[in-house]
Each structure stands twice: as C-alpha cells, then as structure tokens.
C-alpha cells in the first residue's frame, strides 16, 4: 500500500512539472494574443475527455489518462494543431514577430527553471541546506595534483578555501571556480582534520573522484531572506551545471566511446526515462520524503534542459526553425519543415521505446533500487544528477574535480 502511494506521489509530481511547463507556454501565448483553443490535463491519446470549462478563448479538458498536460498553440506551428484534430473552431491565423514566437516557445522551459528555483528556496527556508559527507572515492593518476598534495582515498572533504562542502557537486563547483590557483582544502582522515594546499589546473581540476557517503542532513542557512535566496540560486546553478556535464558524459559515451576523468564511459544502455524516474522517486518517497525536494528540482531542470535541445518536435526545435527564419528573412517552406518535424517525432518515439526497454530491463535487474542511508549500514544515495543522463545504479557516479 505504501509503495502504491509512493508511485502515485511520483506520478503527481511528474504531472505537476509538465503542467507547469505548459502553463508557461499558455501564459506567454495569451499575453501576446496567440490562439490557445485547448488546454488539456492528461494525455489526449487514450480514452475520452471531459470539458470542464471555457474561458479566455480556451477550452479546458480533463482526459481519462490523467498524466501531464498539453496546450494547443496553432500559430506556434505545433504538430497536430488542425481544427479537425482539436474539435474546436479556430480564428484566422495571425503572423506574429519572431521574438514573440521565440518567447512563447521558451516560456515552458523558463517556467520549469523558475519552479525548480522556488522549490529549492522553499527547501532552504523550511528544512535548510541539504548536506551530505563528501568522500574521495579514488585519485586520478593522469592528474596527480591532489595525490601529490597528500590527499588519500577515503578522505572526507570539509571545506575549500574556507567554504563548507555540502556535496560532491559543491566541491567541484568550488574548485573549478579557482582555476590555476592555489587552494586550501580541509579534509578529515581517521577523525583528524588536515589542511592541504594544492594548485588547480587550467580547468580547475585536481584529480579526485568524489562520492556522497552518509546520511543527508539539513542545516539552517544564516542571514536574511536575500542571503538564503542567493544561496538557493547558487545551489541550483551548481546542480544544473552538473546535469549538463552528465549529459555531455552520456553523449561522449554513446557517440565518441570515450570515458574520461569521471570514470567509465556511459552508453546507450544507461539512458533512462519516465519509468526509472517513477521507480527511483517512489523509493525515495518511501524512505525519506525530504529528498523529494531535490529530486523534484532535478526532474524540473531535466525537463528544461531536454526541451531546449534543438531537435524537431521539442521547444528547442521550434526555436531553431525561428532562428533559421530570422537568418533567411523568410520561413522554411511548409513541406520540408513538415517532413523534418515528422522525422523528429519518429526519432523521439524510437528513443522513448529504447529508454522504456532500458527502464524495464534495469527494473528487473534491480539497477533502479535506491537504498538510502540507514543507521550504520552502508548506503547508496539517489544519484545527484538527471536520471536521463546517468545510470541510477547501486552507487552514484563519482564527481571528478
């Protein structure tokens, strides 16, 4: 019963994040006068729908499969926005300036980012800043800076240049912000604090692979509201940069076949989707509901990042067509653009099928099991990066400054 409730909670979180995205498109479209004939709650592919109201030129629908949502914006060039498909009459189309269309297309991503920041701020104000011990997993021989400075595997990082380390990503951010500079790193070894000096390389790396190890705790943030708001923004920025790096690692593993300092290369089998998100999130909800804050933030940012990829049928694809229109001085002909959009949708469907297979395979093999820290037992943390970009396996992938 508890597991069922946890799954329902995760489905609700995913639906809210998708609806937030669509509300972004809808709000900016309404602001500029675009047509928004239908706003639907749920998936329109299966089952009936019920009209719950009509206002502001929009018909609001609830679908039987109540997961996520969508908004129809015909003048943005969305696929399937024909009058017959929508079942509602449309007004004559208007030609809107490129900058307005770009803002409408990007509004969903912007709302996901804003929502993620608000959740981060609420977490900081209510629970505090999440802190988890950051431990040196291994030292990288190809970059022996930390090794030569006296760092050993198993050392716990406390601070970098006097700033407390709250996570591996935090440590990476602190070190990379001091490129080619001497830094003082405080570590704990066998219960004793040690201060080690080292000079980072041009990329701000010192050759340490870091992991989270231990129970997540929350510390109250000192200062006024603006101080807390700024720290929440800094934490969100660091998390987002790590997600970009994880996506880059995935791209490198799939297309270039390379690994790197971060450890073994990722492959296409490590690409996961909705089912993995639901499984991991449900495990977290059962064991420590407070970590749902950070998990929700990551999924919201994941939606933002993925949607900005310039691929047909994604928001980034719409923006790419508009950029091409701005350069050429005229839009692409309807037929070739339609063909590109069609193949974009097909490739996305193939990718969805692939990640679903990966999710189901990993689920049955137990690779999606997330065990949070319990007492003195060894723990495995929920991966501190987007589930679509890193394997949610038995241990989190090391961060490597």
Yes or no: say if 296 and 119 are a contact pair by the CB < 8 Å rule.
yes
Q: Over the chain (401 residues), what is each successive 10-residue block's mean pLDDT? A: 73 91 95 92 85 91 88 72 65 87 95 96 92 88 90 91 86 87 92 92 88 82 90 88 75 56 54 72 74 88 90 89 91 82 83 78 72 43 35 41 66
- For 157, the token pair is 């990082």
Q: Tell me which residue of 383, 373, 385, 401 sits closest to 157, measured CA to CA.
A: 401
Predicted local confidence at residue 386, as pLDDT: 34
Note the pLDDT tens digit of each residue in 300-328. 998 999 899 888 888 999 999 999 999 98
Q: What is the DSSP letter of 342?
A: H
Taken in order of first residue, the domains within the chain and their CATH numbers are 133-213 (2.30.42.10)
Position of tokens 């949708």?
Answer: 345
H or E, element range at 61: strand 58-63
Yes or no: say if 211 and 189 are a contact pair by the CB < 8 Å rule.
no
Yes or no: say if 143 and 208 are a contact pair by the CB < 8 Å rule.
no
Angle at 200 between CA 195 and CA 204, to 5 degrees: 120
Residue 330's Cβ-count burial label (10 Å; 0-12, 13-18, 19+) is exposed
Note the pLDDT tens digit of each residue in 180-232. 999 999 999 988 999 999 999 988 889 988 888 777 888 888 889 999 999 99
Yes or no: say if 246 and 390 are a contact pair by the CB < 8 Å rule.
yes
Yes or no: say if 57 and 89 are a contact pair by the CB < 8 Å rule.
no
> Can you tell me the distance from the alpha carbon of 288 to that of 252, in angstroms, rounded to the nearest whole number?
33
> Can you tell me the distance from the alpha carbon of 142 to that of 122, in angstroms, rounded to the nearest whole number?
41
SS3 content of the chain, % helix, strand, coil (to 5): 50, 15, 35
Predicted local confidence at residue 51, as pLDDT: 92
> Phi and psi for 254 in degrees, rounded to 5?
-75, -45
Residue 156: other Cβ atoms inside 10 A:
18
Handedness of CA 184, 186, 187, 190 (dihedral sign): positive
Predicted local confidence at residue 77, as pLDDT: 66
Yes or no: say if 151 and 200 are a contact pair by the CB < 8 Å rule.
no
Q: Tell me which residue of 177, 149, 367, 378 sits closest to 269, measured CA to CA.
A: 367
What is the secondary structure of 265-289 as a DSSP string? PP-GGG---HHHHHHHHHHHHHH-G
């Amino acid at each position: 019963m508890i597991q069922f409730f946890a799954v329902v909670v995760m489905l609700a979180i995913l639906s809210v994040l998708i609806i937030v995205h669509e509300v972004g498109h809808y709000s900016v479209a309404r602001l500029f006068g675009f047509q928004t004939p239908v706003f639907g709650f749920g998936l329109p592919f299966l089952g009936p729908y019920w009209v719950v109201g009509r206002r502001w030129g929009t018909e609001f629908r609830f679908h039987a499969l109540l997961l996520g949502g969508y908004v129809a914006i015909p003048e943005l060039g969305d696929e399937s926005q024909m009058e017959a498909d929508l079942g509602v009459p449309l007004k004559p189309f208007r030609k809107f300036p490129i900058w307005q269309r770009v803002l409408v297309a990007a509004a969903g991503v912007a709302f996901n980012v804003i929502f993620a920041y608000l959740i981060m701020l609420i977490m900081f104000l209510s629970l505090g800043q999440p802190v988890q011990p950051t431990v040196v997993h291994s030292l990288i021989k190809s970059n022996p800076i930390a090794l030569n400075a006296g760092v050993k595997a198993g050392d716990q990082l406390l601070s970098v240049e006097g700033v407390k380390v709250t996570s591996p990503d935090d440590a990476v951010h602190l070190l990379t912000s001091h490129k080619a500079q001497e830094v003082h790193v405080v570590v704990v070894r066998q219960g004793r604090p040690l201060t080690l000096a080292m000079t980072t390389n041009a990329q701000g790396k010192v050759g340490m692979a870091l992991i989270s190890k231990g129970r997540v705790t929350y510390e109250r943030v000192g200062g006024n509201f603006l101080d807390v708001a700024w720290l929440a923004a800094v934490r969100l920025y660091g998390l987002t940069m790590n997600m970009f790096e994880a996506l880059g690692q995935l791209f490198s593993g799939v297309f270039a076949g390379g690994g790197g300092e971060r450890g073994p290369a990722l492959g296409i089998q490590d690409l996961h989707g909705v089912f993995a998100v639901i499984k991991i999130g449900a495990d977290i909800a059962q064991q420590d509901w407070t970590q749902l804050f950070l998990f929700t933030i990551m999924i919201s940012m994941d939606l933002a990042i993925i949607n900005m990829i310039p691929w047909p049928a994604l928001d980034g694809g719409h923006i790419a067509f508009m950029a091409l229109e701005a350069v050429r001085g005229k839009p692409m002909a309807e037929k070739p653009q339609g063909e590109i959009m069609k193949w974009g949708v097909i490739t996305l469907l193939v990718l969805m099928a692939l990640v679903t297979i990966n999710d189901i395979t990993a689920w049955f093999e137990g690779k999606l099991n997330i065990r949070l820290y319990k007492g003195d037992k060894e723990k495995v943390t929920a991966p501190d990066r987007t589930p679509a970009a890193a394997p949610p396996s038995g241990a989190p992938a090391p961060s490597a400054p």
